[in-house]
Structure 1
C-alpha cells in the first residue's frame, strides 16, 4: 500500500513550496510521487516540481474533483499501479473542494492501494482577515477537512493575523494539531500522523468551472513552430490567464520582474527563461518571491489569477514587449 497524504490550502498559501521542501528532505531510499492540479491551464506547479526527483502527474485547467473525478482517477491509477511509490502527495488546486477527493481516496476500490494518512491544510493566516477568503466555501472546508493546520508564512505574520488565527483556532481548532512554520518547512514525520478528522463535509454548491476542451497533458506543450500561446480558465468568481513560450524565447529580467510585481491581479506564478538562466516567480498579493538559477528551463510558463476583471490583452502586450529583440 502507498502512504498517501492530501495537502490542501487556498491560493498562495505555500502548498507547492511545502511539497518541494518535503521532497528535498525525504529518505533518498524511498520513491515518492506527486499528483498535482492547478486552476489554470499551463502547468506551473508541474514545472516547479519537474526537477524534484518525484514521479509526477498533472491535472491542469480546473480541479481534480470535477468531472466525476475522472481526471484524478486516471492520474491516480497511473501513479499507483505503474509507479508503485512508497509515498504519494496529492496537491489540489487552491480553489479545490476536499470532499470529493477524500471520498474517492477512501472508496473501496482503493483500499488495497492507499494507506490514507493525515490531511494537511497549509494556511496563510493573513487570509483570515480577508472577507472574500473566509466566506469562500472551499477555503472553509479545506480547513474543516484537515487533520493538521499548517500556519505558514509566520515570518510575514502581523499582530492582526496572529489574533485572527488565535480566534479561529479557539472556535474551530478542536482536537487537531496547529503547527507554525515559514517558507513551507513541513517536517516529514507529520505526514505519518493518522487521519483522525472525519467530519462530514457538504459538497460545494459553488464548485463549478468553465473548462476548456482538454486533450490530456499533451495540451500543455506548444505545437511545432508555435512560439507562444495563451490559455484562459474561470470559475467560482476567479479568472486565470496563462502563457507558454518556447525554449528559444528569453525575457528581460528586470522588466519581467516589474511586470509580475505590478500586474493588477492577486496571484502570479511562473518559471521563465532569462539571460541568466531561469527565474521562478511567486507572488501572492504584495508578497513577491523570486529565485534564479543559471540553468535554462525547457520553456517559459507564467500564470495570473484574479477575482476581479483584468485586461488580459493589455497585460499580454506588455509581456510580449519584454522578449529580447533577437528572440521576439
Structure 2
C-alpha cells in the first residue's frame, strides 16, 4: 500500500514550496510520487517539481475532483499501478474542494492501494484578515477537512495576522494539530500522523469546467509555434497563461517589473532569461524569485485574478520583453 497525503491550501499558501521541502528531505531509499493539479492550463507546478526526483503527474486546467473525478482517477491509477511509490502526495488546486478527493481516496476500490494518512492544510494567516478568502467556501472547507493546519509564512506574520489566527483557532481548531512554518519548512513526520476521518461538507459553489479533451498533462507547443496563450475561469476567478518556445528569452529586469506591476492576485512562472532560469512566485505583494544557471525546455507563466483583467494589454507588454526576434 502507498502512504498517501492530501496537501491542501488556498491560492498562494505555499503548497508547492512545502512539497519541494518534503521531497528534498525524504528518506533517499523511498520512491515518492506527486499528483498535482492547477487551476490554470499551462502547468507551472509541474515545471517547478520536475527536478525533484519524484514521479509526477499533472492535471492542469480546472480541478481534479470535477467531472466525476475522471482526470484524478486516470492520474492516480497511473502513479499507483505503474510507479508503485512508497508515498504519494496529492496537491489540489488552491481553488479545489477537498470532499470529492477524500471521498475518492477512501472508496473501496482504492483500499488495497492507498494508506491514507493526515491531510495537511497550508494557511497564510494574513488571509484570515481578507473577506475574499475568509468568506470563500473552499477556503473554509479546506481548513475543516485538515488534520494538521500549517500556519505558513511565519516570517511574513504581523500582530494582526497572529491575532486573527489565535481567534480562528479558539473557534475552529477542534483538536487539530497546529504547526508554524516559513517557506514550507515542515517536519516530514507530520505526514505519518493518522487521518481523523472528520466529515467535510460539500460546497454548492464548487462548480467549474474541466478540459477532458486534452487529458492529463500541461499544454505544450506544436512544432514551429513560438508561443501560445490559454484561458480558464471558475468560482469567481480567471486565469491566463502563456507558454513560449525554448528559443525565447526575456529581459530579466523588464520581466520582473512586469510581474511586480501586473494587476492580478497570483503569478507563477518558470522562464528563460540570459542568465539561465528564473522562477517567479507572487501572491499579492509577496514576491519571491529564484535564479538558476540551467534553463528550462520552455518558458511558461500563469496569472490568476479575482477581477476582470485586460489579458490582451498584459500580453502585449509581455511580448515586448522578448529578446528574440518577434514572430
Q: TM-score range by the shorter chain?
A: over 0.9
Counterpart for residue 247 of structure 1: 246
State the distance in 2 between where 1:166 and 1:107 align. Answer: 35
Change (3 A) 1:219 1:282: closer
Aligned to 1:124: 124
Alpha-carbon distance in structure 1 between the residues aligned to 2:218 and 2:33 = 22
Distance 1:327 1:86 in 2: 47
SS at 2:272's partner residue? strand
Match of residue 175 from structure 1: 175
**SS at the partner of 1:63?**
coil
TM-score normalised by structure 2 residue count? 0.98
Matched, 1:40 2:40: yes
| Greater mean alpha carbon deviation, residues 219-228 or residues 236-245 | 219-228
Determine if contact 1:18/1:186 at 8 Å carries over to the other structure.
yes
Instruction: Please show how residues 1-328 of structure 1 align to structure 2 within 5 Å.
Output: 1-196=1-196, 198-212=197-211, 214-217=213-216, 220-326=219-325
CA distance in 2, matches of 1:239, 1:133: 15
Instruction: After superposition, give the CA deviation of every residue in 1:184-213 in whole Å (9 maximum; x if it has no partner).
Output: 0021111001101x2222221111114446
Q: Distance in 1 between matches of 2:38 and 2:220?
A: 16
The one-character-per-residue Cα deviations of 1:82-101 (angstroms, maximum 9, x if unpaired) are 00000000000000000000
The answer on whether the counterparts of 1:249 and 1:327 sit within 8 Å (CA) in structure 2 is: no
TM superposition shift of 1:174: 1.1
* Closer, same or farther: CA 19–304 of 1 in aligned 2, 3 Å: same
Query: Which whole-Å CA distance do the structure 2 matches of 1:298 and 1:278 have between them?
Result: 10
Contact 1:230 1:242 in 2 (8 A): yes
Query: RMSD between aligned alpha carbons?
Result: 1.0
Shift of 1:140: 0.2
Contact 2:242 2:300 in 1 (8 A): yes
Instruction: Encode CA deviations 1:289-313: one digit per residue, 9 max, x unaligned.
Output: 0000001101001000010010000
CA distance in 2, matches of 1:214, 1:94: 23
**Is the 2:66–2:209 contact (alpha carbons within 8 Å) kept by the matching residues of 1?**
no
CA apart distance, 1:326: 3.9
Q: Secondary structure at the match of 2:268?
A: strand
Distance 1:208 1:235 in 2: 7
Summarize the Cα distance change of 1:218–1:285 in structure 2 as closer, same or farther, 3 Å threshold.
Answer: closer
Q: Unaligned regions of 5+ residues in structure 1, if any?
A: none
3-state secondary structure, aligned to 2:223: coil
Q: Distance in 1 between matches of 2:248 and 2:326?
A: 5
Question: In 1, are the aligned partners of 2:75 and 2:216 still within 8 Å (CA)?
Answer: no
Return 5+ residue gaps in structure 2 as ranges: none
Bigger mean CA deviation after superposition, 248-257 or 218-227: 218-227
Give secondary structure in 2 for the equivalent of 1:102. helix
1:217 deviation in Å?
3.6
Instruction: For 1:248 and 1:296, locate their aligned partners in 2 and report how far apart those are by CA, in whole Å.
Output: 11
Distance 1:34 1:164 in 2: 32
Q: Per the alignment, do residues 179 and 169 of structure 1 end up closer, same or farther by CA in structure 2, a change over 3 Å counting?
A: same
For residues 29 and 219 of structure 1, what CA distance do their matches in structure 2 show?
A: 29
Aligned residues: 327
